[in-house]
Amino acid sequence: MDDQILQDRNTFLSLRHLEKIYPNGEKAVHDFNLEIAKNEFIVIVGPSGCGKSTMLRMIAGLEDVTAGDILLEGELLNYKPSKDRKMAIVFQSYALYPQMNVYDNIAFPLTINRYPMPVRSGESFFWGELKCLLDTDKAESFLGAVYEEASGKKSKRGRTEKLALQFGISFETAKLALSLSEERKGDDLSAALSAWRERAVFEGEKGREALKEEGLAADEEFYLINERGERITENRKLTDYEIKARVFETADKLDLVPYLDKFPRELSGGQMQRVALGRAIIKNVPIFMMDEPLSNLDAKLRLSMRSEIVKLHQRIGATTIYVTHDQTEAMTMATRIVVMSRGFVQQIGTPKQVYNDPANIFVARFIGSPTMNIFKADLDIAAGRFDLDGMSIEAGEGFLRKHEAFYQKAAEKFEDMRANYGPAAREKLLRILSCTGEYKNFGGRRAAYKKGLAKFISLFRKRKVSEEPDAEIAILDEKLSKLRSYAGYDHEVMIGIRPERIRIEKCEQGKDYKNCYVVRPTVCELLGGEYNIHFDFCGQDVVANFDAEQSISQNDEIAVRFSPKDIYVFDPVTGGRIM
């Protein structure tokens, strides 16, 4: 295992053979494997109930891991409590604390944790900071602001904080500057500047002398250092001012400053969403996790927040794991997509791979909007053609070879499973069922729900162990016999084609449409730039895209053509992709 880590230097977060079984015996996640590199935007996508949120909660430490390892830079996280995992999580419901205002909500993580901070050298630190500021070109504007604030009418604390936030200095330094300006009232700016500089250097040196007497040393910026010249750090709670500075910085990033003293119930959905993001950002952690964060927003806001989140991800250089059931979000945001169904990973790949090269029929159906059209077709091996309700399509080059290899491999796999039927083989079978969509029809998997007396009696009865495997073996046998009969013979296949790949022509009079399917569309939806045209084919509704430069209506006839290189061929038994 250690070798593997050394090899994979790119791996940041590594999830290995993760499984989750709930106390009621339901298996929510089966054997999840994923290596995540730094700065990746991983989107886990799948229909509801596919285990994607469970996955996220396991990584975040909110749910126990039944089996498998979670490694962050080679460090095992399985048994670490959630708070030590360096992760921030954003929930679908935002999970804002209703009794706190926005400021307190964002500041919450800072107020309860201790952070390692370099130790300052006492008062000389602030003189040092003042000197640094006076040496920069901001010095004059700073002095001006100090003199202006000194004559201000607000409370002293308020004035000091404003100065400190404005120039990014600590509270005490601002206080020092204000008291200096009291001492030297009426000086003009340039005189004051040199006088202040002298004073700061003098006080700094004095502080350094005093430190030396105590046997301590400090670096240029007056942080304490040890013998090796490294800054000494201590774990401490942040001061109110430090928290305030960071909250304002975060709120500024998210345009939340005007809402800081409002309560969550007074905010709109988008604002609450931003507060939730702010609370995640302020923790300054390398991993972000989001659990369907956009699904409570209205459509327009969702679009803008989508790009906001991607921008945010790039700006703070975080690694993001994002869970959604919306394939559009997955396609647009992800650097890599994980498609899940019924607790099984169906495919992991970049959006392009997942779209253009789906691993199986489930992924093909799930990704893409409008969804891929899938038909049943008959394969004529001798002619090398598919017969689609009278329309004949040539099978692509090398199809027969691939077809032969696919069925040979599949039959071998099934024979192996049949021969040593056990938990491992059962897992494989469930995986196949999860992708063909037969999973839910798979009877007898969960014990029937019993109520009252029947439940009470069933507690004392021995469970019948034999029933379930029988049903499973029956399915296995059925599939195996089908697979055997398919190799080398004509049989049924599933053919898929993306809506934008269907060639449509508006029929003109007197033209011959050979080898085309001529039909009247049932619905023509104008999307602006293009039409979504629905028509009946093979007894089902088919969607195709059509450029909106030509106008089209239900009364026109269209000629439909499929190009052999655009079609995907799937095996109806295992759901796997043949070509």
Nearer to other proteins, 97 or 456 (CB): 97
Nearer to other proteins by C-beta: 287 or 476? 287
Residues whose CB falls within 8 Å of the CB of residue 146, separated by 6 or more in sequence, listed in order:
163, 177, 178, 180, 181
Q: Nearest approach, Cβ of 433 to other proteins (angstroms)? A: 32
Phi, psi of 35 (to 5 degrees): -110, 120
> For other proteins, which is the closer residue by CB, 108 or 439?
108
Preceding peptide of 264 cis, ω within 30°: no
Burial of 381 (0-12, 13-18, 19+ CB in 10 A): middle
459 dihedral zone (left: phi>0; alpha: psi -120 to 50; beta): alpha
In the bound state with other proteins, the residue whose beta carbon lies nearer, of 62 and 474, is 62
Of the pair 293, 576, the CB lying nearest other proteins is at 293
Q: H helices within 214-292, ranges in order?
A: 240-253, 269-281
Going from the C-alpha of 203 to that of each of 324, 345, 476, the distances in angstroms are 58, 64, 85
Query: In the complex with other proteins, which residue's Cβ is closer, 109 or 152?
Result: 109
Residue whose pair of structure tokens reads 């199986």 in the numeric block:
360
Minimum CB separation from other proteins for residue 87, in Å? Answer: 7
The tokens for 482 are 């089908």
Kindly state the smallest distance separating residue 251's Cβ from other proteins, in Å.
17
The least CB distance from residue 21 to other proteins, in Å, is 16
Least separation, in Å, of the C-beta of 291 and other proteins?
A: 9
Place of tokens 């990584």: 59
262 and 269 Cβ atoms separated by less than 8 Å: no
CB 411 within 8 A of CB 574: no
Concatenating the DSSP letter of every residue in 12-71 gives EEEEEEEEEE-TTS-EEEEEEEEEEETT-EEEEE-STTSSHHHHHHHHHTSS--SEEEEE
Shortest CB 61 distance to other proteins, Å:
7
Binding site for other proteins (CB under 8 A): 57, 60-62, 81-83, 85, 87-89, 91-93, 95-99, 108-109, 112-113, 279, 283
Q: Minimal distance in Å, beta carbon 186 to other proteins?
A: 49
400 is written with which tokens? Answer: 């027969």
By beta-carbon proximity to other proteins, the closer residue of 90 and 573 is 90
In 382-510, alpha helices (H): 399-419, 423-436, 452-460, 467-486
Q: Between 107 and 567, whose beta carbon lies closer to other proteins?
A: 107
CB of 278: closest distance to other proteins in angstroms?
12
